[in-house]
Amino acid sequence: MLARQRQSAILDRVRAAGGVRVTDLATEFGVSDMTIRRDLETLHERGLLAKVHGGATTSGPGSTDEPGFHAKSVRQLPAKAAIADRAALLVRPGAAVALSAGTTTAELARRLVDVPGLTVVTNSLPVAEILHAGGRPDQTVVLTGGVRTPSDALVGPLAVAAVRRLHLDLLFLGVHGITERAGFTTPNLMEAEIDRALVAAADQLVVLADHTKWGTVGISSIVELTAAQVLVSDEALPPPARRVLGEQVGQLIMVKATRAGRATRTPTSEGTAP
């Protein structure tokens, strides 16, 4: 197991149990205590957990805490990969699509580099770089201007103005949190504005969110749950979330994340793809 994969698994354990012990993690992953301590130190420096004597606990983020892109990129890796695999099936050659900022949308971008004729609008520097590096000559990538956030999003009046007159087929939206009351949320007020502009420009909204987003609330709501025609999540989504989202979004698609990070469908919780 690579260090990045092990650190992602450690974060899962911390969030599930509220805290972990170094000795338990060393036994589980078959590595030394020193290796686990280095993993915990790395995650602590990124603000993802709090180190304590003999282990680590959750760091307890607030509604305005905004982890950087790199910090978020180590979380829920198999789930994000599986969600991106499934979301890519919704994209047809020649479409005009938007990808918001986020690590799951960046995973999706990696799967779109070979789709012919795409026009992609994004306010995400990593998404633009992934598509640019792919180098497909029949793709057009439009990067909005704006001010850069910790999550490598471009926000502000320039970014909003860049998308207001566009007409897009699909928007793939990454979110910080989801609740029944607040809807889809972000910890950055200015990022919420550009996200709302992207929603208004698109014929169809597809939200990409792993199960950990449920119950998390950012300071600013982007849109209500009912605004999403499709939500793609993983099968670890808890039953209360499945009930609420199944009632309020147009279609709830859940995938199973495998060790290789490839998506498999969950027939009992997935409808017909649009």
* pTM for this prediction: 0.72
Residue 106 carries which DSSP code?
A: H
What is the residue extent of each domain of the chain? 3-60, 71-269
CATH hierarchy code of domain 71-269: 3.40.50.1360
> What is each CA distance from 206 to 2, 14, 90, 197, in whole angstroms?
31, 29, 9, 15
- Domains 3-60 and 71-269 alike in fold: no
Q: Which stretch of 96-100, 174-178, 186-190, 195-199 has the lowest confidence by average pLDDT?
A: 186-190
| pLDDT at residue 232 is higher than 60 | yes
In the β-sheet with 183-186, what is the strand arrangement from edge to edge? Answer: 177-179, 183-186, 220-223
pLDDT tens digits, 129-168: 999 998 789 999 999 999 998 788 999 999 999 999 999 9
Structure tokens, 268: 């009992």
pLDDT tens digits, 173-194: 999 999 999 999 998 889 999 9
Question: What string of DSSP letters covers 231-269?
Answer: EEEETTS-HHHHHHHHHHSSEEEEEEEPTT--EEE-GGG
pLDDT band at 119, cuts 50/70/90?
Answer: very high
> What is each CA distance from 208 to 41, 172, 231, in whole angstroms?
29, 7, 6
pLDDT tens digits, 247-273: 999 999 999 987 544 444 443 344 434
Q: Give the CATH architecture of domain 3-60.
A: Orthogonal Bundle (1.10)
